A and B are shown apart, each in its own frame.
Chain A
Amino acid sequence: MPEDRSDAPARHAGPTVEVTADHAADHAAGHAADHAGIERLIDGLLPALVAKLGTLNVGELEVRQDGWRVRLQRPAGAGPAYGRRVTDRAGQRVHPGHETLGAPAPPKAAPGTTVGAAAHAGGSNGTAGSLLAAVGPGRATDYGERTEVGDREVAEAQPRPHGPIATSPAVGVFQPGSKAVGGTRVRAGDRLGVVDMLGIPQDVLAPADGIVIGVIVEAGTAVEYGQELVHIEAAGAVEAH
């Protein structure tokens, strides 16, 4: 049911990442170069940028490099309510049940050639679990929803990147650890922080090897069981391209 979907922008308040290649109109020529660009971005630039955005008090950050433009944007209304999942629903659901009992609103992929994890709006459904899920010039955001003719082969040739997410093991208060910093390389099972459940710390563990992309929830925030806390880009995901 749609409860997650309607609430998604506020409840899964990760930054929006937008990556644009200036030569996006010329697919064939730009393809190889794009891939190299994507890999560079994933490895070097993005984690640092996400971390930077996390520490700056700005809503948006844009960087240009080699014909690529990377823009990170905090979700609307994030600010202090960032990642507040359990307590921010009351205000949103003035008409209880109306939106939730209706037909599920499918997550909308941003159309056009500018792509990004705007699909993150539907992140909780697993349509675009990772911030980097849709990086690449001229590609539709949501592989499940793409309708552009001619892109099919490309879609199938490219494995859909998955970004592992460390989730909350308990209901309590989240405290990130020293490894929960953008750009940090982690191994599966590393402790990224704890959720304090009535004074009993429950470990938040990295679900896979990779690089920390960003922490979704601020320190000291109340979190529920299974809530997404830390985004990781899997170590294998880059090679898969």
Chain B
Amino acid sequence: MFRKILIANRGEIALRILRACRTMGIEAVVAYSEADRESLAVLLADEAICIGPADARRSYLSAPAVISAAVVTGCDAVHPGYGFLSEDETFAEVVRAHDLTFIGPPPEVLDRFASKEGTRRLLGSYGLPTIPGSVGMLRDDEHALEEAERIGYPVLIKPSAGGGGKGMRMVRTPRELESAIKVCRSEAKSAFGDDSLYLEKWLEDNRHVEVQVAVDRYGHGVHMGERDCSVQRRHQKILEEGPTPALSPAARAELCERAIHAVVAAGYENVGTLEFLVDGNGDAWFIEINCRIQVEHPVTEMLTGIDMVAMQIRIAAGEPLGFKQSDIVTRGHAIEFRINAEDPAHEFRPGAGIVERYHAPGGPGIRMDSHLYPGYEVPPYYDSLLGKLIAWGPDRPTAIERGRAALDELLVDGLTTNVEIHKALLANDTFLEGRMTTNLLDRVGSAAFLAAAARA
């Protein structure tokens, strides 16, 4: 097992990793940018080291800065969290070249799954139905138009690197494609430093369902059920839950079993998530794999009782999983609400500023993963996630009831948050009946959605 881990991330996930290290008796060093000097992870850490200025390209995205910090503090492993360098195979390679362990899939595994388009073909060859898409990256506009024609409109333009909805646009005509592709390239370039794009067939009224897997170095793999992330705003997840209300128990089990079979066969290692789109017929189409711990991992932790970050660390250290598929029992229903510093009344404009008062809700089945504290100044340089409120209940209606009470109890003064959109969701019949699709908010627009909830 590792002796000392460098946490190369910020916000709530840095805190989450720190907590996992504490429970495992592993020392942790929090690497931070100048803008995060007073972040909770830094304040709570045994040790913290400033790795660069606020600009993420010179701190959290700088492989030399992160690795140098790990070396000088005597760490033997680096946990990249999510985003930033978490799925960068070159970074993982350089980490290893410095006799450090990258906590995630080994570099060659990341490399094998680096291309989203290549991964679709790879996992398709192991029996997963995959979404139709472009062959290879889009070389230029002409190539994009040809491929879109072949796949058939509407299509989704997607960046090969990263996630989080950045650089993603759905287009219905060649004309829209031509104008959107430039925006996507520049967004992808600034978010991930890589402007490669590809196309995917767009399914109307789709559901986003993802399967959580964990595979150790010895090829023992388990799935830990699925999560439904259909509630999105402009391709960004804002609420996740499990199990999915979209599929029957039998269909869920079948999807999860196919997913774990395919990734084990394809040589995956460590925790990962296979994302699927489920169409109106209940058919699931594989779209991509996320080779990292995800924002929404607490949903699965609440359902299974497994500490996924600790498991991720153990797998990276070469330990066997130590349990079988039949040992995993999922109980009840969990919903995660992403609490963002965004103003729903103004196009979800991200905000920053000082948290004047803060109260995290509690009670049975309630968990709050957040880096907020009273007096904390949310810096404007990074994503707007303030925390995640997770509500568990023995069934979906109870989880919803508890979530509603917890959202009412949550207090974040000094910043505008997106809590209203969550409250509106919990008053929306489509959501309450579990029939939501990824266009639930965007079809009517979030403003109209909020207004409708206010009338109800």
Contact = CB atoms under 8 A, between A and B. Distances in A.
Given A171-B50, A225-B50, A226-B34, A200 B72 contact: no
B52 A171 contact: yes
A198 B67 contact: yes
B45 A171 contact: no
Interface string A168-185: 001111000000000000
A227 B51 CA distance: 10
Interface of B: 27, 34, 37-38, 42-53, 59, 64-65, 67-69, 71-74, 98, 373, 375
Interface stretch (A37-45, A75-83, A86-94, A143-151): A86-94
The B contact surface, by secondary structure, is mixed
A96 B41 CA distance: 10
Q: How large is the interface on A (under 10, 10 to 19, 20 to 34, 35 or more residues)?
A: 20 to 34
19 contacts: A1-B37, A3-B42, A86-B47, A86-B72, A87-B47, A87-B73, A89-B47, A90-B27, A97-B44, A101-B43, A171-B51, A172-B72, A198-B68, A225-B34, A225-B50, A225-B51, A225-B53, A226-B50, A226-B53
Interface of A: 1, 3-4, 86-87, 89-90, 93, 96-97, 100-101, 170-173, 197-198, 200, 222-227
Contact of A200 (B27, B64, B71): B64
B73 A222 contact: yes
**Residue of A3, A87, A225 contacting most chain B CB atoms (<10 Å):** A225
A4 B38 CA distance: 9
Nearest to A227: B50
B43 A171 contact: no
Given A87-B73, A222-B72, A227-B50, A198 B43 contact: no
Contacts of B52: 170-171, 225
**Residue of A173, A197, A224 contacting most chain B CB atoms (<10 Å):** A224
Contact of B64 (A1, A96, A197): A197
B51 A90 contact: no
Contacts of B73: 86-87, 222
A122 to B, nearest CB: 16
A96 B68 contact: no
A86 B64 CA distance: 17
Contacts of A222: 72-73
